[in-house]
Structures are given as C-alpha cells and as structure tokens.
Chains A and B, each alone.
Chain A
Amino acid sequence: NLRCLFNTTASLRQCKLSPTLSSLLTSSLSTSSTTGSMHDKIAEMVKANKVVVFMKGVPEEPRCGFSNAVIKILEFHGLKPDVYSAHNVLDNEQLRQDIKTFSDWPTIPQVYFNGEFIGGCDVLIKMHQNGELIEELKKIGIKSALLAAQEEKKE
C-alpha cells in the first residue's frame, strides 16, 4: 500500500499521484528515507501480523544460523511462513540499521508478537525450552502445535 508510505511525509499526504510517479517516489523514499520515517514504517510492519520476524534471508532460505533457528522453532510450534510475516534485512540496509534502534536491540533476528518485541534467537530458544513460548503464543491466540500434540497424547 503506497499511501501508508506517504503518511510519514507530510508534504505528500494530500497528493494524488499517478501510478508511475507513485512508484518513482516510493523507490526514492526507500533509498533516502530517514530513520524517523523508517521507524514509522517499522511500527506498521510489526503490527501487520500476529507474528513478525526480521531476519537475514527468507524462511525458505535463511542466510544466518540464528535466523534459521528462529524459523525452525516457529515451525516446530506449527507456524509456517504463510502464517507469519518475515522481512529480510539483507534487502534493505536502512531497515537493517533502523530495526535495531526501533527495538533497542542490537542484533538480528528479531521476533514480534502483536507488535511487541519478544526477543532474538537466544530468547526464543530459552522460551521454547521452558514452555514460555507456548504461553506467549496462547496470549496472541495461536495454539502451539506442541500443545496440540501433548493434548492428543493424553486422550
């Protein structure tokens, strides 16, 4: 949605632009956007889905062991790529830097549940080991596949 990108630039807010001009401005916005405008964009990205991941590479082909671990843990709990949103920071250097200042967290990957920062790879591993991840998923209305499997065993 191109309009939401323009929201951060007051002067463009009132403009109705032709598709060609819109796409030209979008590409210039993404290459020359300031940290402020990127933070606004990130704020929207983290709320766009229940589970949002900022990673290196894509779920089908992670480019970092820590990012891969996050994807695998989510998969373990039944979350496939079609259910969550994944953003590849290797595609956008501005995003790669500004996501760290946005969350005040210095590394990638980063996981958000309902717009709230949960943690990186180590945090997710720990939460997976101690059962917290199942609880956090429950809070956002997602039933972990592990929980379903446990309940099936009991029956």
Chain B
Amino acid sequence: ASRISLFISAARRGLCSDAFAGYQGPIACRIQSSLQSSSELRPTHLKIINESAGHAVADRHRAETHFKVLIVSNQFDGVSVVNRHRLVNKVLASYLGGSSSSGRGGIHALSIDARTPDEWLKEAEVSGSPPCMGGERKQN
C-alpha cells in the first residue's frame, strides 16, 4: 500500500514540479502551455504560481483567480520592463478578459516577473506578491 501511495504522489507532482506552485488546476496548466508554446516568448524557464489562496476569493485553496508568472526568455533582452509585460499580456490575453469583479471569464490578477537568462542567473528567486487588502468586500 505504501508503494502505491508513493507512486500516486509522484504522479500528482508531475514531471515538472518546479513549473508550478500552489493549486495546479486547469487554468494554471493552460497558462503554462500557452506561454511555453509561444513563439514570441520562447521561454527557457517558466513557473506558474497560483496565489489565489492569499486573496479574498471563494474556495480560495482551489481557486484560480490570482497568478504570478515567472518567465525567463532571451526575447526580453533590451526590452523595457513594461514592454516585457505587454508581450506576456498579449499571449495571455484570453485569460485576462472577464468584466466582473468575480473574475468570471478570466483570471482576476496576473503578476509578471519577466527576466533575461542573465538576470535569472544573478538572482534565481521569485518574490511573493503584496498581501491582499480585502478587495471589494465591504469592511465591517
């Protein structure tokens, strides 16, 4: 029985456990695959971090509303920070739609850390995002 549970937990971790953090749901997987296969970005390193659990969302441990993406690519060389983010925004445009505060039709927040391979070598760490401040819920 212990061998089976080891096998199951290994399978759950997946082949690239470094590629994800936090709850790895279908949206996280699709984001990963969109970025990985993007010819404009051609990332050498990618990490999709689900930060939804830290925010005021329903069922936050299985939510897919707030993400942080670490993306390392040669394509960012010589490109300003804001334009690097625009490149990533373009690839993920379909996930960022959705008009309501509940994030229906799209994710609610996307934090981007876009680096060149040299920058990633210098500091191979991703910092966390600012803590939630409650959002639109009326404070009592």
Q: Are A65 and B81 in contact (CB under 8 A)?
A: no
A78 at the binding interface (Cβ < 8 Å): no
A residues less than 8 Å from B134 (CB atoms): 63
Q: State which of B99, B112, B135 has its C-beta within 8 Å of the C-beta of A64.
A: B135
A residues less than 8 Å from B93 (CB atoms): 106
A115 at the binding interface (Cβ < 8 Å): no
CB distance from B41 to the nearest CB of A (A): 16
Q: Are A63 and B135 in contact (CB under 8 A)?
A: yes
CB distance from A61 to the nearest CB of B (A): 9
B78 at the binding interface (Cβ < 8 Å): no
B residues less than 8 Å from A56 (CB atoms): 135-136
B53 at the binding interface (Cβ < 8 Å): no
Q: In the complex, which residue of chain B has the Cβ closest to the Cβ of A111?
A: B82
Residue total for B at the interface (Cβ-Cβ under 8 A)? 22
B133 at the binding interface (Cβ < 8 Å): yes
Would you give the 0/1 interface string for B98-140, flagging 1 where the beta carbon is closer than 8 Å to chain A? 0100000000011111000000000000000111111110000
Q: State which of A62, A105, A126, A127 has its C-beta within 8 Å of the C-beta of B133.
A: A62
Within 8 A of A (CB), among B58-115: 81-82, 85-86, 89, 93, 96-97, 99, 109-113
Please report the C-alpha to C-alpha distance between residue A106 and residue B131 in the assembled complex, in whole angstroms.
20
Max chain B Cβ within 10 angstroms of own Cβ: one of A104, A120, A122: A122
B residues less than 8 Å from A43 (CB atoms): none
In which size bucket is the chain A interface?
Answer: 20 to 34
A140 at the binding interface (Cβ < 8 Å): no
Please report the C-alpha to C-alpha distance between residue A127 and residue B93 in the assembled complex, in whole angstroms.
24
Q: Are A97 and B111 in contact (CB under 8 A)?
A: no
A residues less than 8 Å from B131 (CB atoms): 65
Q: In the complex, which residue of chain B has the Cβ closest to the Cβ of A132?
A: B81
Q: Are B136 and A127 in contact (CB under 8 A)?
A: no
Q: State which of A62, A66, A118 has its C-beta within 8 Å of the C-beta of B109.
A: A66
Would you give the 0/1 interface string for A24-63, flagging 1 where the beta carbon is closer than 8 Å to chain B? 0000000000000000000000000000000011000011
Please name 17 further chain A to chain B contacts, defined as beta carbons within 8 Å, in addition to the given A66-B130, A106-B97, sorted by A numbering. Answer: A56-B136, A63-B135, A64-B133, A65-B130, A66-B109, A68-B133, A97-B99, A105-B89, A106-B93, A107-B96, A107-B109, A117-B82, A119-B81, A120-B85, A122-B111, A123-B81, A123-B82
Chain B positions within 8 Å of A, measured between CB atoms, are: 81-82, 85-86, 89, 93, 96-97, 99, 109-113, 129-136
Chain A positions within 8 Å of B, measured between CB atoms, are: 56-57, 62-69, 90, 97, 104-107, 117-123, 126-127, 132
